[in-house]
Structure 1
């Protein structure tokens, strides 16, 4: 791969991010922030923070997507800090960790800065007020990475304890604790709506379904320490940057490795970014270089070679850049090969090897295709014998050759044999239903005896006439569930023409259901899917579609009727509903109202929070989020009371009330430590207090002051 653009910034590159305005922000190990034009890597502006990072294998710096905020660890990693990128003023600092801070992150909607530490704790800071809003479930060891889904609905935390925490930022509730790694989890990233990639210290990579928590697959072939990674906008490719300077590429649809040495540079890769607009991969290195590559390099050469039908050279270009296989231009090569292959097969079936080789002539210098060609020619050497056996009616020998050379099964001769078999089988089924004609059934099927793949069907049809009768009767009555059960228990029914008709009917139903869903006709789609559930082959998929559609129907009806409680509750269940036009609109309203509530909470203003959140007070799915913002407001009241030297008994009462409402949390424990320092005479014991929880909190528990 040829370098497209290159730039030296002298110091290790620890963060690269393309902001919403299109600028490329690059941060080095001394926290010098530079803004570049991503088209030509020309420097636009920048500033120095002056914090030297000795360790940067975790995210020691983070930037908001909108470029308004950035977070960083201090040089000694004792605290994390949040800054306004325009004014350079510090908004907040987190010095609550017991030990060092390990990584930071800012969610895609720039609502929260997350500070993670060696103590396994994660603190979420409101970027507007700079105050602590909530904490995530703690881990038993150092947190190595924090990542967010692209829509900002999910946050994931990976830890040295080998576990991953999934937390919903919509409902403000923990969802899953993922366990499958045998080594510390080092890197995380979300992709393709419902998937999460995690990589551990042993370079073992796992793909998860974030809804079910199940392992979907594992990436093979990572033999180096992964330092950084990036995914393209279409979420088709995963690029891994390693300590030895390699870029490894995976197909995210198949989880197969595309290239183990896609790019090789001389320095460890410390940061990566992808320019979706230009399909450029941008790499940052430990020796301070920013290098840009075109992932579809060679496309124009490919076009020229295709025009000249220089397929051998096409293969050489693709060997250099295997991602060209995914281009539209390469699909023309694939189509040409497939057409040539079919024509050559027909020529070989006719015994015209010379014509076949002439057709293959353009591909014979392509090693990958030449192997296929040679095998095909060898396999077709006995095709004339197969054709003669079929002609002579020596069916057992003909089928034997077809099993030995499966390619023969594509031929018209084999298809004719199968057609004859099915015709005989159907005739035998009719005869076997009548005791008078049953001997004729045996006679018709006699030529197929001794063939293992046919014998089981012959034995079953001769011994199970009643089952055949029941199957036909069930079909006539459209009792599809009965049909599916009979087919499941009696494989010979697969050979019936009635089975083909049944499957064709099911296929048509499936197509109709997809059309109805596409057109938004949910009622018709549900009606069709109810029938499809009776077919074993479609049962699971139809059930999943049904659940999804019923949720959508309930959601859209709620929106139409102004029932926002049901609408928000349905959105909490289905991520897909959030991405609908109505879902996005409702989520924006919620986010705007929540921002107002947080602004009021930052001053301990309960009435302001209530006013902003009034319409959500009867929505079950919002209770945890409401509890979080009210807890935030009450904590501000406690902090203000402590700062104003309020009477000890009043603050103690506030602590009791807080714990009674929300239980023991990182916030209240940290506050109690400060309180105990100021009022050492206190006899308050947190462990002995009656404890509530965020999950049990209800709006009826709201009071104007936690101190009362």
Structure 2
């Protein structure tokens, strides 16, 4: 792969970020921030911070999505700092880690900065107030990496303790740990659809289901230290940049490695990012190179080769750029090949081998296709013998050949044989249930003697005729649950047309219900889902669908009655409602109100905060975020009391009250350090005070003054 654009700097490129349609942000190891024209890579603006970094495998700098704020670690790795980018204004710094700062990050919406340390603690700083607000679940050893979902609702941290901690930022609650690595986890990266990628020191790579904490897949083929990770092309590809200068690529649908040498540079790959608008991979290296690659480079050439029927050259293009296999021209080529295969099969069925070989001529120079051609021709080498057995009604011999050559099952002749078997079986079952005609059963089934799969079925039918009768009667009277219970007792019934028809019926019912839901006919869909409760394959989904339909009725009823508390409660239980127009409006309203309340909390305006959040007080899922807002408001009251030189005893009383309501939070710890500076002889010890828990806080505990 060759880059389509490149630039170079004197220091390693350690961070890149797409700012907008025209601007690329690039940061080097001296924390020189460059704003580049995304089309030409020409310098538009520059910001020098002059902090040198020698670590390339961890996040030492991070920008908010709009680049309004940035975080970085100082050159001694002892302090993390938060700046407002305009004017390089220092907003706050974190210097309380017991050891080095291992990495920093700002979540996508620019609400929080995180500082991770070697002691395993990650501090969360509210950017608006520049105050320490909370800590993430700690690791037993140092934190190695931190990642966020695109919507900023989830954060994951990896640690040297071999664990991954998950935290719900929207709810401000821990979500447990992911444990499957046998070595320190060095990298984490969220993928779409509730998945997470992680990589450990032994190069073991895992894709997780975040909600269930289960391992989805283990990625193979990593034999080098990975320094940088990114996903691209609508979360289809995972790119890994290594210390030896390779970019590895994985398919995030199949979890297969697409290429282990997609790109090769002469030095370590220190940063990766992806421009979705242009389908371009942006690569930064330790020797200061900034390179941009079109991941679908030569797609136009591929289209031309297809039009010119130069199929062997297509394979060469795919070898040069494996991602071209995911383009429309290559899909068209594969469809053309499949159609050619089908045409060849039809010709071979009609004993036209020469014509079959002729239509393959355009693919002969492609080794993989040639192999398939030869296999197909070999499979049909005994087809004439198969036809002769069928014509002479030597069915056992015909079926034996089919077992040797499974492709024959796709032929019209074989399908005709199977159709005749089905007709004969139905007739035999009919006669078996009639005492006057039962003697004809052996005559009908005689041609199938010696065919193992048929003989077993016939024998079971004879032995279990009463079960078969009950099975048919249950279907006739629409007692589907009973019919399926009988099948559990007699597995052989699954081979019968009645069972297959029953399963097809349930499949069709399900599809019909989905169409009805799409058309808004929930009543009819509900009736069908109640029928589907009888079918094991659909029971769980039917229950969920019935519950969701009922929830939707209650939800939209609550909206109509302006009962927002009930609407939010229902929406918390049924996530899909959040994607509805009303759900989006409710969430937007909550986010807006929470922001307003948060802003008032910074001024200790309790009454105003209560007024804004009043309608959310009965919603359990909002309680922790509401608690956090009032915690912030009451800390502000304490700081005001300190600034206004309020008497020591009253402030101490406020500290005690705060701890009764919220427990020993990082906010009160930070405030207490400032309090001791002003009142060094205080006898209060916050570690020995009676403590509540912020997780146990309830709206009934709101007080106008913590003092």
TM-score under structure 1 length normalisation: 0.95
* Preserved CA contact (<8 Å) 1:134 1:632: no
- Who is 1:262 aligned against? 262
Q: Is 182-191 or 575-584 further displaced after alignment?
A: 575-584
Task: State the distance in 2 between where 1:543 and 1:319 align.
Answer: 49
Give the equivalent residue in structure 2 for 1:69.
69
- CA deviations on 1:364-416 (whole Å, 9 max, x unpaired) are 11111111111111111111111212222222221121111111111111111
Q: Which residue is 1:27 aligned to?
A: 27
> Take 2:439 and 2:606, find their aligned partners in 1: how far apart are those partners?
90
Q: Does the CA contact (< 8 Å) of 1:118 and 1:143 recur in 2?
A: yes
For residue 285 of structure 2, what is the aligned residue in structure 1? Answer: 285
Q: Distance in 2 between matches of 1:526 and 1:664?
A: 50
Q: Distance in 1 between matches of 2:90 and 2:420?
A: 83
Query: Does 2:88 match 1:84?
Result: no
Residue 314 of structure 2 corresponds to 314
Aligned to 2:379: 379
Structure 2 matches for 1:76-475, cutoff 5 A? Answer: 76-475=76-475
The worse-fitting range, judged by mean Cα deviation, of 74-83 and 598-607 is 598-607
Partners of 2:437 and 2:578 in 1: CA distance: 64
**Counterparts of 2:119 and 2:572 in 1: how far apart (Å)?**
31
Structure 1 residues 294 and 204: CA distance shift in structure 2, 3 A: same
* Structure 1: segments with no counterpart, 5+ residues: none
Q: CA deviation at 1:426?
A: 1.3
Cα shift readout 1:590-618 (whole Å, capped 9, x = no counterpart): 22222222222223332332233222122
Query: Structure 1 207/630 Cα, relative in aligned 2: closer, same or farther at 3 Å?
Result: same
1:677 to partner: Cα distance:
6.1
Superposed CA deviations along residues 248-307 of structure 1, whole A, max 9, x for unmatched, are 111111212111211111111111111111111111111111111111112111111111
Correspondence for 1:43: 43
**Cα offsets for 1:32-89 (capped at 9, x unmatched):** 1111121221211121111111223111111111221111111112221111122321
Asked if structure 2 preserves the Cα contact closer than 8 Å seen for 1:20 and 1:65, the reply is no
Higher alpha-carbon deviation: 220-229 or 648-657: 648-657
Q: Judging changes above 3 Å, is the alpha-carbon distance between structure 1 residues 50 and 580 closer, same or farther for their aligned structure 2 residues?
A: farther
Q: Secondary structure at the match of 1:144?
A: strand
CA offset at residue 566 of structure 1?
2.4
- Equivalent residues of 1:134, 1:628 under 8 A apart: no
Which segment drifts farther, 282-291 or 176-185?
A: 176-185
In structure 2, the CA distance between the partners of 1:345 and 1:583, relative to structure 1 (3 Å rule), is: same
> What CA distance in whole angstroms lies between the structure 2 residues aligned with 1:470 and 1:615?
58
Partner Cα separation in structure 1 for residue 325 and residue 488 of structure 2: 40
- Is the alpha carbon distance of 1:376 and 1:209 closer, same or farther for their aligned partners in structure 2, counting shifts above 3 Å? same
Residue by residue, what CA displacement relative to the aligned partner does 1:344-372 show, whole Å, maximum 9, x if unpaired?
Answer: 11112222221111011111111111111
Counterparts of 1:555 and 1:328, CA distance in 2: 42
CA 1:681/1:406 → structure 2, altered by over 3 Å: closer, same or farther?
same
- Compared CA separation, residues 274 and 526, structure 1 to 2 (3 A): farther
Return 552-561 or 364-373, whichever deviates more. 552-561
Counterpart-to-counterpart distance in 1, 2:202 and 2:488:
44
Consecutive unaligned residues in structure 2, runs of 5 or more = none
Please tell me whether the aligned partners of residues 22 and 39 of structure 2 are also in contact (alpha carbons under 8 angstroms): no
How far apart, CA to CA, are the structure 2 residues paired with 1:553 and 1:119?
50
Shift of 1:520: 4.3
More displaced stretch, 382-391 vs 651-660: 651-660
Deviation, 1:522, is 4.1
Distance in 1, Cα, partners of 2:452 & 2:138: 60
Q: Is the 8 A contact 2:132 2:670 kept in 1?
A: no
Judge conservation of contact 1:224–1:243 (CA < 8 Å) in 2: yes
Is the alpha carbon distance of 1:462 and 1:358 closer, same or farther for their aligned partners in structure 2, counting shifts above 3 Å?
same
- CA spacing shift, 1:267–1:628, aligned 2, 3 Å: same
Separation (CA, whole Å) in 2 of partners of 1:22 and 1:700: 51
With over 3 angstroms needed to count, the CA separation of the structure-2 counterparts of 1:578 and 1:32, relative to structure 1, is farther
C-alpha distance in 2 between matches for 1:520 and 1:193: 26
> Aligned residue for 1:600?
600
Shift of 1:674: 5.0
Determine helix, strand or coil for the equivalent of 1:440. helix
Distance 1:346 1:299 in 2: 33
- Secondary structure of the 1:538 match is helix
1:116 to partner: Cα distance: 1.6
1:471-510 alignment runs, 5 A limit: 471-510=471-510
Matched residues in 2 for 1:432 and 1:419: separation? 20
Relative to structure 1, the CA distance from residue 121 to residue 516 in structure 2 (aligned partners, 3 Å threshold; closer, same or farther) is: farther
CA contact (8 A) 1:144 1:159 kept: yes
Q: CA contact under 8 A between 1:96 and 1:670: conserved in structure 2?
A: no
The residue aligned with 1:534 is 534
1:437 deviates by 3.5
- Distance, in Å, in 1 between the alignment partners of 2:572 and 2:188 is 23
Tell me the CA shift for residue 222 of structure 1: 1.6
Q: Please give the secondary structure, in 2, of the residue aligned with 1:138.
A: coil
3-state DSSP of counterpart to 2:696: coil
Greater alpha carbon shift after TM alignment, 402-411 vs 385-394: 385-394
Matched residue SS, 2:537? coil
Q: Distance between the aligned counterparts of 1:42 and 1:363, measured in 2?
A: 46
Q: C-alpha root-mean-square deviation of aligned residues, in Å?
A: 2.2
Structure 2 CA distance for aligned equivalents of residues 20 and 558 of structure 1: 40
Q: Does the 8 A contact of 2:82 with 2:93 survive in 1?
A: yes
SS in 1 for 2:695: coil
Normalised by the size of structure 2, how large is the TM-score? 0.95
Q: In the alignment, is the contact (CA less than 8 A) between 2:21 and 2:38 conserved in 1?
A: no
Taking structure 1 as reference, are residues 513 and 412 closer, same or farther at Cα in structure 2, changes over 3 Å only? same
Correspondence 1:623-634 to 2 at 5 A: 623-634=623-634
Q: What displacement does 1:541 show?
A: 4.1
Distance 2:492 2:474 in 1: 16
* Higher deviation after alignment, 304-313 or 123-132: 123-132
